[in-house]
Amino acid sequence: MKYNEEIRKNRKRKTIIISVLLILVIVLGLVCLFVGSSNMSVEECFKALFGEGTPAQVRIIRNIRMPRVLAAIIAGAGLSISGLIMQTNLNNPMASPATLGVSNAAVFGANLSIIAFAGGFISTGNNLSNYLVGVNPYSTSVIAFIFSAFSILLILGLCRIRSFRPGVVVLAGIAIGSVWTAATTILQFYATDVGLSAAVIWNFGDLGRATYKTDIIMASVVVAGLIFFIITSWRQNAVLSGDSAAKSMGVNVNRLRFLSMLIASLITAVCVSFLGTIGFVGIICPHVTKRILGQDHRFSIPASALTGSILLLAADTLSRSMGDGSALPVGAITSMLGAPFFLAIILFKKKKSSV
């Protein structure tokens, strides 16, 4: 009886924490919606949100800030979930969406689209007006996603051939990711000034390029992945006990790992292809979630999604507050947060091992 009571209290505590995280997402979403360079008051923002106020105010809130806030919530949740699942299936606390070289492949695809097909040495030369006419942001995102998906399938295919072990996945991801990085460097070397500038700007993680259409696409992929991971949460818990223990519970470990890594990588590919590279969300948020709620994926999956949204909303609010009239790339803010977080993990583990 006492044991059951303890379990019930523990579940109640975790449910309360998840509810608090959800409230924080809503509050930060509103704060992010009301922060900007237009100097609109909170009252004016509320009126514009419901279609009142001047046409310019309504356009700013509904067509610029709202898609941006939704993108932060969706992409933050997707990248955080991907990091959590990769850390579980690779048995590596430092694993993240960058482990399989997904971001590297997306960057190469975007650079290829911008430099070679839309705005570089092939079609526009150094004429900026020609670049602005020829570039198609959706084609850039599509090509970035295609290369990301190809990289995922290539790595997972190699791992299936050479036995699907976590160590093999990590090594294959590092190797393939290095190839994409080298190819991107070569491509940029031959680019014109205009093409190179446009490609570098795309690499910055920027929520400002989000639209309702991109939000819907990202949301459909992230929600589908979230549902899959929640359904398989008990299998993910079994994997934590080791492959042998999971197999004894009836879990097909290789198939689960393959599907989990594929779906997590596809979520990352979609987010990166639309928004650019946003680093460290897939590392910071899963670690914070596991520290607060533990390893149980029934709770850590939704909590990780919420913490990812919170981090990206906070980073976006900070980027627009520091931009002095223009928003800084949100990827730079998350990277600034990620470096000290890494140091904190290293110092904590060192202190813990010395005790």
Pick the CATH number of 2-354 from 1.10.3720.10, 2.30.110.10, 1.10.3470.10, 3.30.70.20: 1.10.3470.10
Q: Give a three-class secondary structure readout of the chain.
A: CHHHHHHHHHHHHHHHHHHHHHHHHHHHHHHHHHCCCCCCCHHHHHHHHCCCCCHHHHHHHHHHHHHHHHHHHHHHHHHHHHHHHHHHHHCCCCCCCCCCCHHHHHHHHHHHHHHHHHHCCCCCCCCHHHHHHHCCHHHHHHHHHHHHHHHHHHHHHHHHHCCCCHHHHHHHHHHHHHHHHHHHHHHHHCCCHHHHHHHHHHHECCHHHCCHHHHHHHHHHHHHHHHHHHHCHHHHHHHHCCHHHHHHCCCCHHHHHHHHHHHHHHHHHHHHHHHCECCCHHHHHHHHHHHHHCCCHHHHHHHHHHHHHHHHHHHHHHHHHHCCCCCCCHHHHHHHHHHHHHHHHHHHHHHHHHC
Find, among 109, 81, 278, 290, the residue nearest to 187 by Cα: 109
CA gap 304, 82 in Å, rounded = 9
Whether the full predicted model's pTM is greater than 0.85, yes or no, is yes
Token pair belonging to 89: 């299936």
CA gap 96, 314 in Å, rounded = 20
Q: Show Cβ contacts of residue 184 under 8 Å, excluding neighbours closer than 6 positions.
A: 104, 107, 108, 111
Contact, 149 vs 266, CB < 8 A?
A: yes
First-residue to last-residue Cα distance in the chain: 35
| Domain range list for the chain | 2-354
Find, among 41, 17, 79, 6, the residue nearest to 264 by Cα: 79
Helix pair 297-322, 2-34: axis angle to 10 deg = 20
Token pair belonging to 48: 């514009």
Token pair belonging to 239: 């994997």
Tens-digit pLDDT string for the chain (355 aa):
566 778 788 889 999 999 999 999 999 999 988 887 777 888 888 888 888 888 888 898 989 899 999 999 999 999 999 999 999 988 888 788 777 788 889 889 988 888 887 643 344 444 444 444 444 557 788 888 889 889 888 888 887 777 677 777 888 888 899 999 999 999 999 888 878 888 888 888 888 889 999 999 999 999 999 999 999 999 999 998 888 889 998 899 888 988 998 999 899 989 988 998 888 898 889 988 998 898 899 999 999 999 999 999 999 988 887 756 567 788 888 888 777 776 776 676 555 444 4
Helix pair 212-231, 253-275: axis angle to 10 deg = 160
At residue 272's C-alpha, the angle toward residues 266 and 277, to 5°, is 135
Q: Show Cβ contacts of residue 307 under 8 Å, excluding neighbours closer than 6 positions.
A: 21, 80, 285, 288, 289
